[in-house]
A and B are shown apart, each in its own frame.
Chain A
Amino acid sequence: MKPQSRAFKTSATQALTNEPLQRALGGIKYGFVANRARARANLPEFDQLRDEARDVKEHTLAHLDLYLEEYEKKVTQSGGHIHWAPTATDARDAILKICRDAGARTVTKGKTMVGEEIAINDHLEDAGIRPVETDLGEYLIQIRKEPPSHIIAPAIHLTKDQVEADFRHTHTSLPYDRVLEEPVQLVAEARKVLREQFLAADVGITGANLLIAETGSSVIVTNEGNGDLTQCLPRVHIVIASIEKIVPTLEDANTILRVLARSATGQEFSTYTTFSTGPKRPGDPDGPEEYHVVLLDNGRTEMLGSEFHDMLRCIRCGACMNHCPVYGAVGGHAYGWVYPGPMGAVLAPSLIGIDEAGHLPNASTFCGRCEAVCPMRIPLPKMMRHWREREYEKGNTPARYKLGMKLWAFAAKRPRLYQALTGLAMPLLARFGKRSGRFRTLPLAGGWTRHRDLPAPQGKTFQQLWREREARP
């Protein structure tokens, strides 16, 4: 999809008054947030496992070239093919070629964020090949021609009434008077419709949560089983994965899997975790005849060793956005591209550039909850700060902000002046705000008071209070 991140401010404002969206977002804290807290409480070693998961990934990144070579060797040995793709265009070309060689007309897809990143669906459609999303959430947004609004719950912004309307509109061969009120009826209908697609598809495309150098396996984690039907039924299976998905061994995969589901949905373990290695073997009654892995760089090697290096540890669990007050208020679409929330605010500028995505690292209160819950201990606020610095250096910051910052810096660098100014302002504000204890409007602070009141200060500055306290016996 074409990035719309430049419109973040407008989109965010619209999102705040979008009633169905606000209702849908309200459910996150009772769902994902509460479930993660329970899963964490159920496993005493959870935080220690997070440290280990971080260390596994750091070790891998420090030896990334060698593990990629080992992985390639094992995939080839098992009869699979690796396609190295430095850019999104290279990946799209490779996938289209495989589909064309297979004479594909229909392609089923398991959920893949990298697939969204390279906009593979549009590319296939333009070439006359029909991609069918099979993860229920992805299917719902494909019908609506929308991008995902969450990395593990792509349709979290929708209500069941919207889904019912979409199904009636799309599944026109089914009787119109059928009952479609509850999620269980909606899911049953999707199962029936998509089952036919699974059986008819020529090629299946999945992502990968992990790639394993020890065995040359790709790993997918799902609850629906759609990824598995996508990869075991068609004649050709294509895995699309970015290079940082690799881990050395099955044991290293275990460590990451132990924190993944608990951080994502709050489950002890996802329902299905599948390890695929090469095409079907002699005597196998099922499985694909061809197995391809498209290994995508698309900006990752530029992050390696840079101040955004830590972001390469991300396992796409979504915990950061589930716990983010900004994401919780505006939802995923406002971010305007594929990756929303705190992880998107760091990743999007790395992948599509700071000119395009400069608003996203600013969409943070720096409350730090994202870093506190990240299973891979990624310092997300610190990296958003790095992006803000880069944006400032590039001169993308509006003149108004710059003037404000310069005035503040001028005073802050002169402690006496700073104390004199605040010493004057505080008693003044305290006197004016004494009656109600708050300001409903204030000159120069319209950006704040338009949406909320500003509490009136008590009359003394922090430094004055500090001195008084120090002076007390």
Chain B
Amino acid sequence: MSGPQARQSILDAVRGALDVKDDDTARKLTVQKRLKSHPANLVPERAKATGNARLKLFTDMLEGQSAEVSRAKSVNDIPEIITAYLRENNLPAELRTGSDELLGHIPWDKAPTLTRHFGRGQGDDAVTMSRARTAAAETGTLFLTSGEENPTTLNFLPDTHIAVIRAKDILGSYEDAWNALRKVYGARTLPRTVNLVSGPSRTADIEQIIVMGAHGPRRLHVIIVG
């Protein structure tokens, strides 16, 4: 069975099991209200941290999940942080980014040896860089949104992924982060992909031993700006 007939058969079976009719306005109202007001359920106390305590929680959580975190006073510091990081880890002096505005404000000429490529991720990318739109400190989780600014493939194909986030975009809870995205994209709308990233790729599928870099990046380096 397929098409409208299959659809009707499943919906009829659900209504039959629940013993309801499809014209019950009270039920419809309940559903519409919940979707419109999207009330928050319990938010853990730790997600309510503010200021430096929040930044510390965000950093501790990411480091606890094997990510590295560094701090830049402004975008002007970023070229130096990146060149030093690539040198220390014996990585090539090139990286790929999207067209993100914040990344565009980085004074790239301060890192003359560094080559910057653009566009979507490639299968052999060594290092990529993207900007996280927002983040939830409660578990050190970045929210990366798809688009020309920050192609999704940059988050998964490289060996090393560098993510930049402004300190003021780091919020407490997942609820705060979704509300920030709702402000940008509108009610009941998300970009094609939202990646919640909390560390580098890993697997424990062989004898429950954790190995980094299963299919995604082996390293995640987060730079907090401001």
Contacts and interface: CB of A to CB of B under 8 A. Distances in A.
B41 interface: yes
B41 A136 contact: no
Contacts of B200: 271
Contact of A84 (B2, B123, B173): B2
Contacts of B28: 66
Given A271-B200, A304-B18, A305-B19, A67 B157 contact: no
Contacts of B203: 136-137, 187, 223-224
A265 to B, nearest CB: 7
A356 interface: no
Contact of A255 (B41, B46, B147, B190): B41
Given A158-B206, A258-B44, A271-B199, A277 B191 contact: yes
Contacts of A90: 1-2, 6
B198 to A, nearest CB: 5
Contacts of A86: 1, 6, 9-10, 13
B105 interface: no
Given A62-B18, A223-B202, A257-B174, A249 B139 contact: no
A228 interface: yes
Nearest to B3: A84
A286 B121 contact: yes
Contact of B10 (A84, A155, A254): A84
Interface size classification for chain B: 35 or more
A88 B22 CA distance: 26
A333 B156 CA distance: 33
Interface string A59-72: 10011111111101
Interface stretch (A44-52, A359-367, A417-425): A44-52
Contacts, number: 281
B189 A159 contact: no
B38 A265 contact: no
B40 to A, nearest CB: 5
A137 B207 CA distance: 10
Nearest to B187: A214
Interface in A207-250: 213-215, 217, 223-226, 228-229, 232-233, 243, 248-250
A215 B190 contact: yes
A135 interface: yes
Interface in A155-177: 155-156, 158-160, 163
Given A268-B65, A272-B196, A135 B205 contact: yes
A145 B141 CA distance: 36
Contacts of A134: 215
Contact of A301 (B14, B175, B188): B14
Contacts of B189: 215
A134 to B, nearest CB: 7
A48 B43 CA distance: 10
Contacts of A28: 208
- Most central of A140, A184, A228, A306 by chain B CB within 10 Å: A228
A378 interface: no
- Most central of B14, B188, B208, B215 by chain A CB within 10 Å: B215
Interface in B55-73: 61, 64-65
A39 to B, nearest CB: 11
A283 B196 contact: no
Interface string B1-43: 1110011011101111111101000011011001100111110
A257 B209 CA distance: 24
A258 B173 CA distance: 11
Interface in A84-112: 84-87, 90, 93-94
B146 interface: yes
Interface string A179-201: 00001101110110011001100
A457 B35 CA distance: 62
A64 B14 contact: yes
Interface in A310-324: none
Interface of B: 1-3, 6-7, 9-11, 13-20, 22, 27-28, 30-31, 34-35, 38-42, 44-46, 61, 64-65, 98, 119-121, 123, 139-141, 146-148, 151-153, 155-157, 173-175, 178, 188-209, 211, 213-217
15 contacts: A63-B31, A65-B15, A66-B27, A70-B35, A84-B3, A160-B207, A163-B206, A199-B123, A223-B203, A224-B215, A250-B174, A265-B204, A285-B98, A286-B152, A306-B17
Interface of A: 24, 27-28, 31-32, 43-45, 48-49, 52, 56, 59, 62-70, 72, 74, 82-87, 90, 93-94, 134-137, 140, 153-156, 158-160, 163, 183-184, 186-188, 190-191, 194-195, 198-199, 213-215, 217, 223-226, 228-229, 232-233, 243, 248-252, 254-255, 257-258, 265, 267-281, 283-287, 295, 297, 301-302, 304-306
